[in-house]
Amino acid sequence: MNKFFYGIIAMIIFYIFNLFIMSVIGQIIFIGDSFTISYHMFTYTGLMTLCGVVIVCTYIVVEKLNEVKRELNELNKKSNETINE
């Protein structure tokens, strides 16, 4: 459940960043008013979704790698115990 929570929080932060900061920068770059910039909201929505997906997938991969690392450490401990006997 935490994985999806982090993804949702990242999407909200990215949306707020795009809404307030990037709209000002977008008006300078695209030279237009807010109506013209509103056509780029689809791009912003896609970027928000991609941001959330990347964070959730990264969290899942890190969690699995930690699990594999833990299992390898347990396996090494068992092999060291059998060698010492």
Predicted TM-score (pTM) of the model is: 0.56
- The per-residue pLDDT for range 76-85, each reduced to its tens digit, is 888 877 776 6
- DSSP string spanning the chain? -HHHHHHHHHHHHHHHHIIIIIHHHHHHHHT--HHHHGGGHHHHHHHHHHHHHHHHHHHHHHHHHHHHHHHHHHHHHHHHHHHH-
* Nearest CA-CA partner of 1 in 47, 63, 74, 67: 63
Give the distance, in angstroms, between the CA of residue 54 and the centroid of all CA atoms in the same chain.
4
The string of pLDDT tens digits covering residues 52-76 is 788 888 888 999 999 999 999 998 8
